[in-house]
Chain A
């Protein structure tokens, strides 16, 4: 096996070990825990009152706009990492590479004042 595959084999083994840990713990749990579920225990918790309507109720999720912003910025951070690793060893070209990234960051950051003007970040 090559170095690359051995490294990720450890990762895969850890995932398997994690799943095994959870499975063994619950198997053990099943052996020694009581199991006497009935009516009242199984109702949805709503501070002791009978639950009203459905748990999957419709709500206004104000946060969905944040999710859009997140996608914009998260893609940007993906670009930053390879750039960050190689900026230091770019020699005479590094000034240019820095400038290009500054232009990119400027345009991405324009998102924030735009969202601010739109009032996305304020709702109280």
Chain B
């Protein structure tokens, strides 16, 4: 299938792709942020923001954005100025670049790279460099500890994430994200029941989702920014727009990893595997709606986890990954491979 953005004029197509992706990148995290404000509030029996934008505080996030834009930008005297200033950008840009390969509807993707999932996982892990830069450059003890914790956590949970995705690659026999959605569309369990990969790859989905939470330092894996111990980890010294960019990077990361989970395990833009979408623009819109709905549902589950589980202690967190998740991920790969060859 061709991208709907594959126009004859290459430069026009390029411009359109960049503009649309920037638009998605700047609006989708706002939706997630609003859900976090209100969802978390209601899970804790409170109202959340109610004033800005008249309807249930819907204008709160744009208002916050404007506020951040006007705030003084304080760089501590002891900090390494350049590294400190560049860190939020380094954390933010990879999340935007990953979107280049994520398919959001039939024909609705910027590029269908052959190395799709591999590219996405590789680029999304560049963001941690921003965290490390911030932690080191702040010249603050809390930041440094937070940064080391973040690094240890990210290397521990990178493996379950990648190995969880490898199971899907084994089954779909392609690295292309569009190819994975199409392979999933024609998949049937035991040759009869069409189901998304979430069913045969349930272990993979669980591994991918838990590891994604840890990669994003979302609770219960928010040890790197544990506010009761190390203030706010690598973000302790940040103010104003630079701090806002770290927050945007977190929400954009939630959207990106949920989008990847949607593509890998939940059937992408199809309502259900085997059920075709109508042809033409209606199908494209519907497909986008379905995939965005799945993405938002997954981010809601992430927020739900935040309200449900207490934070893991640092050593428990490491042991959970090395002694439980990684062996489980390897067993999962072996299981899927055996089923592929002999099943």
Contact = CB atoms under 8 A, between A and B. Distances in A.
B89 A61 contact: no
A112 to B, nearest CB: 7
Contact of B77 (A15, A43, A121): A43
Given A45-B142, A105-B330, A33 B72 contact: yes
Q: From DSSP, what is the main secondary structure of chain A's interface residues?
A: helix
B139 A55 contact: yes
B141 A57 contact: yes
A107 to B, nearest CB: 12
Contact of A17 (B18, B140, B143, B148): B18
A122 B319 contact: yes
A22 B341 contact: no
Contacts of B151: 63, 67
Interface in B1-50: 10, 14, 17-18, 21-22
Given A33-B69, A44-B78, A56-B139, A112 B326 contact: yes
Interface in A1-57: 1, 6-11, 13-15, 17-19, 21-22, 25-26, 28-30, 32-37, 41-47, 51, 54-57
Q: From DSSP, what is the main secondary structure of chain B's interface residues?
A: helix
Interface stretch (B51-59, B92-100, B192-200, B300-308): B92-100
Given A14-B100, A66-B318, A88 B340 contact: yes
Contacts of B313: 124
Query: Which of A28, A77, A101 gathers most chain B CB within 10 Å?
Result: A77
Contact of A15 (B71, B97, B138, B334): B97
B250 interface: no
Interface in B54-101: 69-79, 88-89, 92-93, 96-97, 99-100
Contacts of B139: 44, 54-56
Contact of B143 (A19, A55, A73): A55
A34 B158 CA distance: 40
B297 interface: no
Contact of A115 (B89, B110, B237, B322): B322
A6 B334 CA distance: 37
A115 B112 CA distance: 40
B111 to A, nearest CB: 4
Contact of A121 (B21, B240, B319, B338): B319
A100 to B, nearest CB: 11
Contacts of B10: 1, 6
Contacts of A6: 10, 111
B213 interface: no
Contacts of B275: none
Interface string B242-258: 00010000000000000
Contact of A43 (B76, B110, B118, B169): B76
A44 B237 contact: yes
Given A7-B113, A17-B22, A81-B175, A44 B319 contact: no
A17 B231 contact: no
Nearest to B73: A33
The 10 closest A-B CB pairs, nearest first, are A55-B139, A18-B93, A63-B152, A70-B155, A22-B89, A42-B77, A84-B170, A88-B173, A84-B169, A7-B111
Given A43-B76, A59-B144, 14 more contacts: A10-B110, A17-B21, A34-B72, A43-B78, A44-B138, A44-B140, A46-B140, A54-B139, A55-B144, A67-B152, A81-B166, A84-B169, A87-B337, A98-B341
